[in-house]
């Protein structure tokens, strides 16, 4: 699905690129950013997809982003 490409594929590519940049440059700040992106990808795989889909469906059903909560 397109939502998987947007919410998982792109962050995964960013995490891999930041990890490679951290290894090439030897700078830990890129490594920390890559780790954060990879942690988000793990969250998405474990159950974050359902959370994001629920919030999106709820916002579309109510017609307003402010009534999510």
Confidence of residue 59 (pLDDT cuts 50, 70, 90): confident
Q: 68 Cβ partners below 8 Å, 6+ apart?
A: 55, 58, 59, 62
Count up the domains in the chain and report the number.
Answer: 1
What pLDDT was estimated at residue 32? 92
Per-residue model confidence (pLDDT) at position 66: 61
Instruction: Count other C-beta atoms under 10 Å from residue 60's C-beta.
Output: 10
Q: Which domain holds residue 54?
A: 2-67
Reported as a single tens digit per residue, the pLDDT across 12-46 is: 999 999 999 999 998 888 989 999 999 999 988 88
pTM of the predicted model over 0.75: no
pLDDT band at 11 (very low <50, low <70, confident <90, very high): very high
């Amino acid at each position: 699905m397109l939502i998987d490409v947007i919410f998982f594929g792109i962050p995964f590519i960013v995490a891999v690129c930041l990890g490679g940049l951290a290894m090439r440059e030897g700078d830990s700040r890129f490594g920390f950013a890559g780790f954060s992106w990879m942690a988000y990808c793990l969250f998405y795989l474990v159950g974050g997809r359902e959370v994001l889909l629920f919030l999106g469906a709820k916002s579309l059903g109510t017609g307003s982003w402010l009534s999510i909560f």
